[in-house]
Structure 1
């Protein structure tokens, strides 16, 4: 088991990689037009999903990737392509058709919370690979227990970020939110390109 300082560093590094504060404008863009209840549901589901994804990475991440023969670079490239598609939707102002019933509406809400908000934006390849690496720093059950607590703290941080996002959205107003959506679409496209480029460099070292 590592000392307290090391676990603090792990938390800080994962917080910096996930950057929940930095994606507040993107959260606003994807939850625009939702009622407070739906937005709260998205935030709760997203925070639980981030925790679940990173916990799976902690316990089974390397084994799962090895089992399917998937490298972290392939995962990064796939995540980048997914983000790019989302960014294009944000840039052209595409809106989903209204859900025909409550069940469909719930499914759409869950879909947004998990993809792209939980993954690959928050619990993306960088966070997953970091957790897998940190998991190998010690082999004791206590180490994995403390690592799980670190992930719980990160999940709570994500949930708090979703609680703050509506306040920021109200200050922006409708026109401000539209402008932010377009700007974040462009930013998200740039992030997606970086994901894809990083994955391709890993898959094809000759590109470096």
Structure 2
């Protein structure tokens, strides 16, 4: 019996890589962590990856049962994620994300929300993973292939954010502020698209 399915691995990896977009997270990550030191930024990246991996893995295993139990539809999950990202985008555009919190725990907060979820472990990645799991025959080979692909994508995400420190040194503070504004625009567009897709799904379901 085979323990690994290269075709399934490639399908899951490519799909999640496109949805989670490791290169595209760099400007948003820099915008959200602009007030942090290099060490804090590295810790935030590591925490965000662990949170994102844990959330997606949990939804892959128990997501459909949880949503059914709470009577939550996938479009509702998508809309809520879009609204949360829109709030974060407004903070980036107005510069509030660049102000360090009095407690000094900005790294922890940013790593959990919005970096870990819903930016990395967003509705798109969650739904895609749930679709792959439901479409598999739940054999050991399929679980290993899906799990390995999920892990590989998160390694790519971590590397992209880990080397954001180098980008920060090149851009300096003024460059990071500019990137933050651009990231805010991009994040706002992503948020609006998520909400629009959710509304369309609600209309089609009705």
Runs of 4+ aligned structure 1 residues displaced above 3 Å come to 95-100
Two-structure CA RMSD over aligned residues (Å): 1.9
2:123 to 122, 125, 138: 125
What does residue 201 of structure 1 align with?
Answer: 200
Q: In structure 2, what is the Cα distance between the partners aligned to 1:4 and 1:117?
A: 30
What is residue 179 of structure 1 aligned with on the other side?
A: 178
In structure 1, the residue matched to 2:133 is 135
- Structure 2: any 5+ residue segments left out of the alignment? none
CA distance in 1 between partners of 2:204 and 2:68 (Å): 20
Equivalents in 1 of 2:59, 2:35: separation in Å? Answer: 33
CA shift for structure 1 position 98? 4.5
| TM-score normalized with structure 2 length | 0.91
**Closer, same or farther: CA 66–21 of 1 in aligned 2, 3 Å:** same
Distance 1:195 1:167 in 2: 31
Identify the residue that residue 167 of structure 2 maps to in structure 1.
Answer: 168
Name the SS for the 2:35 alignment partner: coil
Task: Name the structure 2 match of 1:145.
Answer: 144
> 1:51–1:154: 8 Å Cα contact kept in structure 2?
no
* Secondary structure in 2 matching 1:23: helix
Aligned pairs, number: 203
Whether the 8 Å CA contact 2:16–2:128 is kept in 1: the answer is yes
1:33-56 CA-partner distances (Å, limit 9, x unpaired): 211221111011111111111111
Task: Look up the SS of the partner of 2:163 in the other structure.
Answer: helix
Q: Distance in 1 between matches of 2:124 and 2:110?
A: 20
1:182 and 1:3, CA in 2 relative to 1: closer, same or farther beyond 3 A? Answer: same
Q: Post-superposition shift, 1:67?
A: 1.1
| Correspondence 1:1-208 to 2 at 5 A | 3-95=5-97, 98-100=100-102, 104-106=103-105, 108-136=106-134, 137-205=136-204
Q: Is the 8 A contact 1:46 1:113 kept in 2?
A: yes
- Given that 2:8 and 2:145 are in contact with CA atoms closer than 8 Å, whether structure 1 keeps it comes out as no
More off after superposition, 3-12 vs 198-207: 198-207
